[in-house]
Amino acid sequence: MANDERELIRRLQAAETSAFRELVESHKPRVFNLAYDLLGNTQDAEDVSQEAFIKVFRSIGDFRGEAQLSSWMHRIVVNLCLNRRRKKALSEMELRDSFDGDDTHQPIPAHDPAANPEIMTEAEMMRTHLRRALDMLSPQQRTVFILRHDEDMPLAEIGKALKISEGTVKSQLFRALRKLQEALAFYKADLIA
């Protein structure tokens, strides 16, 4: 752990508001992106990000420094996302029991409205296919995949963050990749044709 991080943790544990502001500013993009990748919804990702920072601030006194601060924060975000997904799944099941609504997915908004419409449409379709493929993974497989490929976390650090062995991380990552390859195999077929 770097000296700067130790000093930030000390300041956070001393309840310095400037340290909390510094923590939020430096980790906000990664926390939001991780939450968004796990939840697939901007509003939920913003809510979880805020919740995560509040939880970090309230429980920083319990932080023992056995892992990096960012790994500890990742674990908090992952737990909050998993809890939110469970709650959402339960409420959706209750709604489906009550109504006969359709199960459509809202597309992820395009980032550059001035882009070529054909490219935007194709990119939107790819994002939708990828999101659906990620939705087919178990929560643990999805989390391991996102932490490894989007957050570029080492396997050992993922294991610590999720409290599972490195072998389990490898196994879950392998299964996730296999499922994603199967779900997105038509892209490979399109390239060959």
The two three-digit tokens of residue 80, written as one number: 């909050």
The two three-digit tokens of residue 17, written as one number: 């508001």
Q: Contact 142/151 with Cβ under 8 angstroms?
A: no
Domain boundaries, the chain: 1-104
How high is the pLDDT of residue 170? 94
What's the mean pLDDT in 130-151? 84
CATH number of 1-104: 1.10.1740.10
**Residue 72 is which amino acid?**
W
Q: Most confidently modeled of 45-54, 56-65, 74-83, 135-144? A: 45-54
Q: Which residue has the higher pLDDT, 65 or 168?
A: 168
The pTM assigned to this predicted structure is: 0.59
